[in-house]
Structure 1
Amino acid sequence: MRNIELSRLATFAGCLAFAVSFNGLAHAQKKYDPGANDTEIKIGNICAYSGPASAYATVCRIEAAYFRKINDEGGINGRKINFISYDDAYSPPKAVEQARKLVEGDEVLLIFNPVGTASNAAIQKYMNAKKVPQLFPASGATKWGNPKAYPWTMGWQPTFRNEGIIYAKMILRDQPNAKVGILYQNDDLGKDYLAGVKDGLGDKAKAMIVAEASYELADATIDSPLLRIKAAGADVLLNFTTSKFAVQAIRKVAEMTWKPVHYLASVSQSVGGVMKPAGLESGKGIISSYYLKDPTDPAWNRNDAMIKWSTFLDKYFPEADRSNVLNVYGYAVAQTLVYVLRQSGDDLTRENIMKQAANIKDLRLQTLLPGIIIGTSPTDYYPIKALQPLRFDGEKWVPFGSVLVGATEK
């Protein structure tokens, strides 16, 4: 009898050990949504390779190059990134078409850093209805930080509204009696900047703003709105334009021998992409702001982060314009996605991707300017909130003053 009891105990112990072991395996099981498996992570992207915003195409090319680098180093937790990027020519209807192709045809895990405010706005409802992450749009629109209404959309760069508030604070401090003229793109990008300036000026906005003039993306030039702003007597110009029109505006202001205090949107302050084509001397004295290290600034020549960036370009994107800060932007936002994917481990579900993206604690990318960090929470979908004021000296952007935060947007 004793031997029978011992046998039963041994059998029970064996079964228990198996159950515990099975439970452990089940708990550690890999989880996948469409676009991910043991060997691959499919990442979608929509870019303006053609059309009026094609200057931003370099961002997508740098991202593709960075993911090649990650794959060469073994990938993400052993999985290679398959980066699928399509052109929408900066056209919202085309963006919707490409988003459907990526989600329903290519079955990507997420769409990363799609370019442009209008294009991102066009796909936002679709992405959220499909519960597919629209992660880190290449746009600073405020609407990318509304987790209650759009839990599957999260921004990355400082918002245009926040930037507008910062410029308003600078004007109140440095030009308190200014006559302000505002040139803006007639879409969510321009309107966000405009709203931020008015918020920042507060009850002084009505008296200080003497002219608001918009332009359309289809316009050939922006001469007419600039002439209206000058005619209104503005001595401060807020230039909220994208690259192509920023070049035109800087040139035109110089041609008119008009000398306003000139503030330029951060999305258009690339030395290689805007300031050189506009004429370096024409841009001298312009004020802007940014959050990433400028590759044209000699202060970063011996900086480890920028040396690594330059070495990366040597191998993976040698034809890149090293004076174009957009090539630092693409590198940094790609690094952020890689961080999120690594944090996701073997749970590569869309829900977990968003969970990890919404729980970034003080991420300090080396290409960020000192004092600027990336941080999110389930109720804070604005990863970068601060900006460093800059002034163009005719060759490069020179930081001045301290890092500023316009508003905490929830």
Structure 2
Amino acid sequence: MSQQSSTLRSAARRTGGLIAASALAVSLAACSTPSAPASGGEGETAGDSTGVTDTTVTIGTHTPLTGPAAAGYSSISAATNAYFDYLNDQGGVNGRTIEYIVKDDGYNPANSQTVVRELVQQDEVFAILNGLGTATHQSVLDFLDQNSVPDLFVASGSTSWNQPETYPNTFGFNADYVVEGAALGQYAADEFPDAAVCMLGQDDDFGDEFLEGLEMALGADGLTEVQRYSVSNQDVTAQIGALQAAGCDIVTLATINGFTALAVGTAAQLGWFPQWFASSSGADYPTLVGYLGEDVAPKLLQGFTGTNYLPMADDEWVELFREINTEYNGDAPFDGNTIFGMSVGYVFAEALAAAGENPTREALIEAVQSGDLVGNGILPLAFGPDSHAAYLGVGITTVDQGVQDYVDATYEVRDGSVSSVDRQPVPLSGAAVPGA
């Protein structure tokens, strides 16, 4: 029996009285007036403690539970919530349980604005955690900034979240699209120096920044062909045909999982089988199998190359997350989204613990940009006063016989250049309970 399994079982045997007391505390908190800003007694710093009671910390998110992106991403918030349930059964953070309010925005910016206003003005959350999507979250950036709400670990690789002077309370989580494009471009140059490298990507910031990264590694003239598409059009036959006609050996993808599968499937129907290199946003093998089908996916995705910055395959973090998923998430399908969601929850708990026994919004922001957070990635977190990016590098992954894992290639982007570095995976400690 693993230590993690023992921890989970002991948590499950908590008395009904503790559960009832927690439920009562949540009920009372929902009916009470919001916490006033801390007065700053001896040894404490004055600040805004909205969303914090003696027993709970309430946070929220916007995410696509329905709509065009739901199939690829709706499981993330459920995984985060499962981690919080596990954490709460271990006593929470500094004696407080975390309440996570998840609101569906259908991947529509107008809806994002509505639900985020509800979270801030009606639910009075302490922070927004892991709002998902580039256009969706860009639509609420100014509102969150004007209300001084901590805006932590946005689920998008846009560089928009790394603007400390403009948005001092906003921090990203994904490695950004420039980093991913540069890493994949450099890996292509290092391992396939004679290959014709091309790109298929969204006709928005995702595609623009991914292309910027590719050109950083390959040069302005380093791509044989570039094709773009709109997510509103579920047909990429013309783009795939153009890439095939251009003689592309490697097609790099700035795509979400659904469009990765669409591109791979369309190419196969045309009898064309290039090497595929994809951003982490569209490179999760179990998700792609769900789109393509278990019969054909292993053949079409053999050798599929992607990027990642979080634990995967046979890893102690993954083992624990699997157990949490079974106990607290109804044994839902376990994939990269599960690991992503639980990793986000862990880093938030780490930040909350560092914010002190009486956390304020100001203390939470200070904790994140202190540079002391460790996280659970394969490279150190890059947060600091002048950097609101989580990861400045990624590892390269490939699929072999249905198993997706890292290869011996990791790249980091600093000061406009990409370089090879060694992976530095963070070991699991304290059963993923910060402060334990």
- Same fold judged by TM-score > 0.5? yes
**In the alignment, residue 259 of structure 1 is paired with which amino acid?**
F
| Unmatched 5+ stretches in structure 2 | 1-39, 418-436
User: Is residue 174 of structure 1 aligned with residue 188 of structure 2?
Assistant: no
Matched residue, 1:285: 303
Matched residue, 1:382: 389
Deviation at 1:93, TM superposition (A): 1.2
**In the alignment, residue 321 of structure 1 is paired with which amino acid?**
P
Which structure: greater helix fraction?
1
Contact 1:42 1:108 in 2 (8 A): yes
**In the alignment, residue 230 of structure 1 is paired with which amino acid?**
Q
Q: How does 1:193-208 map to 2 (within 5 A)?
A: 193-202=210-219, 205-206=220-221, 208=222
Deviation at 1:407, TM superposition (A): 3.0
Deviation at 1:256, TM superposition (A): 2.1
Q: How does 1:341-380 map to 2 (within 5 A)?
A: 341-361=352-372, 363-365=374-376, 368-369=377-378, 372-380=379-387
Deviation at 1:237, TM superposition (A): 0.6
| Unmatched 5+ stretches in structure 1 | 1-23
Matched residue, 2:33: none
Distance of aligned partners of 1:337 and 1:408 in 2 relative to their CA distance in 1, 3 Å threshold: farther
Separation (CA, whole Å) in 2 of partners of 1:64 and 1:400 = 31
Percent identity of paired positions between Structure 1 and Structure 2: 25
Deviation at 1:326, TM superposition (A): 1.1
**In the alignment, residue 207 of structure 2 is paired with which amino acid?**
G
Separation (CA, whole Å) in 2 of partners of 1:210 and 1:103 = 47
Deviation at 1:340, TM superposition (A): 0.3
Separation (CA, whole Å) in 2 of partners of 1:144 and 1:291 = 18
Deviation at 1:107, TM superposition (A): 1.1
Deviation at 1:364, TM superposition (A): 4.9
Separation (CA, whole Å) in 2 of partners of 1:346 and 1:89 = 36
Separation (CA, whole Å) in 1 of partners of 2:171 and 2:128 = 11
- Alignment TM-score, normalising by the size of structure 2: 0.81
Matched residue, 1:21: none
Q: Deviations over 1:366-408 (max 9, x none)?
A: xx34xx2224211111122221111211401232223211335
Q: Please point out which of 108, 114, 134 is paired with 1:117.
A: 134
Matched residue, 1:318: 330
Q: How does 1:213-292 map to 2 (within 5 A)?
A: 213-278=227-292, 279-292=297-310
Deviation at 1:30, TM superposition (A): 7.8
Matched residue, 1:328: 339
Contact 1:162 1:407 in 2 (8 A): no
Q: Which has the larger radius of gyration?
A: 1
**In the alignment, residue 335 of structure 1 is paired with which amino acid?**
Y
Q: Deviations over 1:328-370 (max 9, x none)?
A: 11111110000000111134222221111111336152xx34x
Number of positions where the alignment pairs a residue of Structure 1 with one of Structure 2: 374
User: Is residue 212 of structure 1 aligned with residue 226 of structure 2?
Assistant: yes
Contact 1:32 1:347 in 2 (8 A): no
Deviation at 1:67, TM superposition (A): 1.2
Separation (CA, whole Å) in 1 of partners of 2:168 and 2:283 = 31
Contact 1:288 1:390 in 2 (8 A): yes
Deviation at 1:192, TM superposition (A): 1.4
Distance of aligned partners of 1:223 and 1:319 in 2 relative to their CA distance in 1, 3 Å threshold: farther
Separation (CA, whole Å) in 1 of partners of 2:263 and 2:57 = 42
**In the alignment, residue 62 of structure 2 is paired with which amino acid?**
I
Separation (CA, whole Å) in 1 of partners of 2:241 and 2:303 = 20
